[in-house]
Amino acid sequence: MSAQMLPSWPRLSFAVAFNVGGTSGATPFYTDLTSRLREQWTATQGGRQYEQDAVQAGTATFTLDNTDGALDSTNAAGPYFGSIAPYRRVRVTATWPPSQNLLPQGLANGSSLADLQVTNGTRAVAAVPLAPSGHTKAIAWGYPAISGGQACGLGATNNGWAGCDSDAVPVLGQPGQAPGQPWTFTVYAAVAVGGQAGLQLNARISWYRQDGTRIAPSDAAVVTVATAPGWTRLAVTATAPPGAVWARPAVISPAPTVTTTATTVYLTGWQFEQAATATAWADPGTTYPLWSGFVERFQQRWKGTAYGTVTLPCVDPLAPLARLTLQPGFQQSLAGLGPNFIYPFNEPSGATQFADATGKRPAWTVVAAPPGAGSATVTAGSSLQGVGFVGATGPVVTISNPNAGSSSNLPGVMLSASAGAAAGPPATGGWTRLIVFRTTATPNGPMALWSSYAPGALMSGGAQVYAGPRSAFAIFIGADGIVNAGANNADGSALVTVSVPGVNVRDGNWHLALAKVSPDGTMITLSVDNLAYFNTTTGDCHPTSCTTDVIGGTMVAGFSQGLYSGDIAYAVEVPVELDVGTALDLGHGFAQGWAGESSANRARRILTAAGFPGGITSLDTQTVMGAANVAGQNAGAALQMVADSEAGQVYADPSGSITLAGRRWRYLQTTPAVTFGEMAAAGEVPYLGDVEIDLDPDHVYNTVQVTNQVAPNATPQPDSYATNAASQAAYFPSSLSRTINVQDPNEARYAAAYLAGQYAAPVPRVSRITVDPVGTPGVWPKLLGLQFGTRARLMRRPNAATPIQLDTYVEQVEWKGDDQGRLAVTVQQSAAAPYSGWMVAAALHTTLAAPAAAGTSVVTLSALNGAAANPAAAVLPAGTVLTIGYGTPAAEQVTVAPGGVAPTNPGYTTVAVTITTPLAGAHVAGEAVCQPPPGSLTLPAGAVYPAALDAGATLTATGGPRAAY
């Protein structure tokens, strides 16, 4: 397979990152395997058939030559041995127009810093005198006034070029590339006026092995650089050494070069090519991502003993999300903190052992106080009573101690870490302990929620009762209902306590207490329901040598006290001092289930729970979410509910970024990015004859049910329904149901009405078209940028009929190629018609076009909002309430009568409107007529209703209109 067998096709690159996979956040080193592609391959981007379907994960299948056994996971001598495994990252890119220059376009023409790093000094893009390459922009390297040995060149990270990174250029694997071939790097350089005269630089190619380590670089001879407007072309040609997989070109200042004046070096016309001599600079072309995801499996096949292949079925990032079943929201967030343990205490009735949800620690057990249990009990499987905790569904554990808060050694029960298990918080470093509880007890004294003691911690009259370390940690509730915490080191020299006044927790509601110690042990912070206080000490308060870890009291050296009575839900230890933001977020999740957060934040939270390292891209999202209720769902389904709540979409784009698109995203695309049609000279993209245009009722919905999911254990809201009688009569009843999770309880009703209106009638649909651009290579830039959600247009011009024009949105893109470099694309589309309207937050207003006498029931109004495009009846339905004479002493409210709007055509200037009751007073021409302002409306300072809202009532206004519902 040659480097560019078919010049009318883009340059394709197929690459696998053998060094990372799954949820690893490490930098991927993509190994180019393009030359191994065999037969036909298919890469289908994530998408769907119709706009009301859930987006399905993208898939791809590639077959590679494996005759040499390089992709055999059992081949210990293979170059990728030990790194061939499922879920390695994979990507396909296309560069158009292709050229010999293999560098990123922005670096090659000196216009971008995105792919450039310096080992020292500064970097910027600057305007420069015309270079021989034709460029007037260059990288301005602010050369440091220090000794030489500094570098400026290709790189995504500044690591001194000792190791590879994701921007290195493949020198093995691309079509036509093999070990021992010559490579040439060139760049035009100039010293800015006023800089160091006689500055010497040289060009360098650094080579890298498969594992990313650097082989000895290839350097050109040192050259004295001209001063602008003169230019010097630095060049180096070298043969790729054995084992070289990647290369990084750079400009080097050789030691012992020393600059004595501030110097700027201009660098432009960068070029890296597979050639034995330098050629004229060429634009590298734009590189487009076609597909990104993960290799799901390696399937070897052998035809006899002479020819072997490996097939790589691949999935995009949405697919692995379906493999994780989410825990209750609060617990899922706790799990993401890397805790030492999580004890949810959610075992069923009758349990006497309580498991660590992380699996790291042994179960906790029920233990009696040293004098015995007496009538005290521990009951598992209790229902979640009280308010204040929506982050989980329960059940919980109830501890009932009749001697609550007693300072005497009396009978009772507690929960304790198993014998032999680690006891007490970490002895070094920062840490956090949190506990969830509720109580109505009236104790005799302080009740200990959670305590850890060393043998010598028991004190009497200021003296130790027993010998040994005095270490102690405790979170306890005072007799006044105030939560306190304290920590004490082994010799008692650093004792620090803190309390949170203002929150009385003996109210039967759920509370979250969170205590944390700083890494140096000099500060303890306690928060209760996100109200935090801290205290400091001069020593290190870390408790060490603790022998007990108890919830529901204290126990040390055969003595118990401070017994607790109430419910317990979670006890958690995290091996770091949580930052303020994380602690506050936990508190929000505990008390409100993160109700009120944006849809983008909710999606980001789900992805974090799933370990996805790439974050999320948000496109015009705006929905405010309700309390999270994700327990038992897989992460993909939870993410889809966020998209449904947004009335938008969630998908993985061709670069592998998971994207959440909001409800307005499609409305705001008013111009097609590509037009499919036979008029190539006019910029249309010709397509093959597989197009079909359907008008069918498959996606007519006129009976809609929308459920708004509520918090765990909350009373469900009634479902919202909407029907469209005219649609039912014409096309038979057809149902659509949807579940959302939003804060506004009215939004389900709006959603149902919107769906029943938008999908009440069939619209012409074009399902899919195929484009093979072999004869029209100029269309490649339009095709390579296609992805889910792109606005498109289809033209069909029958010989004896009116031309057909259908506006669409791309729902799925499928690329097909082969080992000869051919490339074609199939595009699946849905109709744009359901997205042709939008709602705007503006008041309906106009003026009286003529005087109106008292007692009249007909008023003449000037043109209403949108008069240029709509008849008056379209924006003024019967029952609309209007204020005549708004802002005047004679203002009065009237109601539009049924059929009361006289017929008009778009472009009208006046309209007669009949009202249900006669006017009480007379009004003059020119008085304002408008809808009355909502009681909840708050206008900006200086704004006057109703015209103040008009500026935001256009698609181009800042923030855009409120589209859909």
Q: Taking a C-beta distance cutoff of 8 angstroms, is the pair 846, 866 a contact? A: no
How high is the pLDDT of residue 3?
39
Kindly state the average pLDDT of the residues 558-575.
Answer: 95
**Token representation of residue 455:** 């043998």
User: Phi/psi zone of residue 176: left (φ > 0), alpha (ψ -120 to 50 degrees), beta?
Assistant: left
Residue 68 has pLDDT above 50, yes or no: yes
What's the chain's average pLDDT? 92
Residue 474 has pLDDT above 80, yes or no: yes
Q: Is 433 helix (H, G, I), strand (E, B) or coil?
A: strand
Question: Residue 959 pLDDT > 80, yes or no?
Answer: no
* pLDDT reported for residue 2: 37
What is the reported pLDDT for 601?
Answer: 94
What is the per-residue pLDDT for 955? 63
Which pLDDT does position 820 carry in this prediction? 82
pLDDT in tens, 497-530: 999 998 999 999 999 999 999 999 999 999 999 9
Report percent pLDDT > 70 for the chain: 96
Q: What is the pLDDT of residues 686-744, one digit of tens each?
A: 999 888 899 999 999 999 999 999 998 888 999 999 999 999 999 999 999 999 999 99
Q: Is 342 helix (H, G, I), strand (E, B) or coil?
A: strand
Distances (CA, A) of 246 to 171, 210, 333, 804: 5, 8, 40, 51
Residues 789 and 96: their CA atoms lie apart, in Å, by 22
**pLDDT at residue 833, rounded to an integer:** 85
What is the pLDDT at residue 259? Answer: 74
CB 107 within 8 A of CB 115: yes
* The two three-digit tokens of residue 386, written as one number: 């009280």
pLDDT tens digits for 361-398? 999 999 999 999 999 999 999 999 999 999 888 899 99
- Judge whether residue 962 has pLDDT over 70: no
pLDDT at residue 961, rounded to an integer = 65
CA-nearest of 408, 405, 366 to 506 is: 405
Q: Provide φ and ψ at 323, rounded to 5°.
A: -85, -15
For residue 489, which of 475, 474, 472, 468 has the smallest C-alpha distance? Answer: 472
Dihedral (CA of 885, 886, 887, 893) sign: positive
Residue pLDDT, tens place only, 873-915: 888 988 999 999 999 999 999 999 999 999 999 899 999 999 9
Confidence band for 147, pLDDT divided at 50, 70 and 90: low
Q: Which of 8-12, 158-162, 583-587 has the lowest mean pLDDT?
A: 158-162
- What are 769's two structure tokens? 């078209």
Q: What are 438's strand-pairing partners?
A: 567
The mean pLDDT of 647-655, rounded to a whole number, is 94
pTM of the model: 0.86
Q: Rounded distance, CA 525 to CA 493, Å?
A: 19
On the question of pLDDT at 678 being above 50, the answer is: yes
Q: What is the pLDDT of residues 396-449, one digit of tens each?
A: 999 999 999 999 999 999 999 988 888 999 999 999 999 999 999 999 999 999
CA 331 – CA 593 distance, rounded (Å) = 11
Q: Tens of pLDDT along 84-104?
A: 999 999 999 999 999 999 999
Listed as own residue / partner, the contacts of 220-227 with beta carbons closer than 8 Å and 24 or more positions apart are: 222/254, 224/198, 224/199, 224/200, 225/189, 225/190, 225/191, 225/199, 225/200, 225/201, 225/265, 226/189, 226/190, 226/191, 227/190, 227/191, 227/192, 227/193, 227/195, 227/197
Rounded Cα distance, 21 and 292, in Å = 12
User: Taking 50 as the threshold, does the pLDDT of residue 66 lie above it?
Assistant: yes
Torsion of CA 851, 855, 858, 861, to 10 degrees: 30
Count of CB atoms situated within 10 Å of the CB of 906: 12
* 947 — pLDDT class (breaks 50, 70, 90): confident
Q: How many Å apart are CA 706 and CA 750, to the nearest integer?
A: 9
Q: What is the structure's pLDDT at 7? A: 65
Asked if 704 contacts 737 with a C-beta cutoff of 8 angstroms, the reply is: yes
Distances (CA, A) of 202 to 115, 164, 809: 20, 20, 51
Euclidean distance between CA atoms 237 and 234, whole angstroms:
11
Give start and end residues of each alpha helix (H) in 785-882: 872-875
pLDDT at position 514 is 98
* Least confident among 9-18, 146-155, 559-568: 146-155
Q: Looking at residue 952, what is its pLDDT?
A: 72
* 267-283 residue pLDDT tens: 999 999 999 999 999 99
How far, in Å, CA of 645 to CA of 628, rounded? Answer: 12
Q: How far is CA 131 from the centre of its chain?
A: 42
Percent of the chain at pLDDT exceeding 90: 74
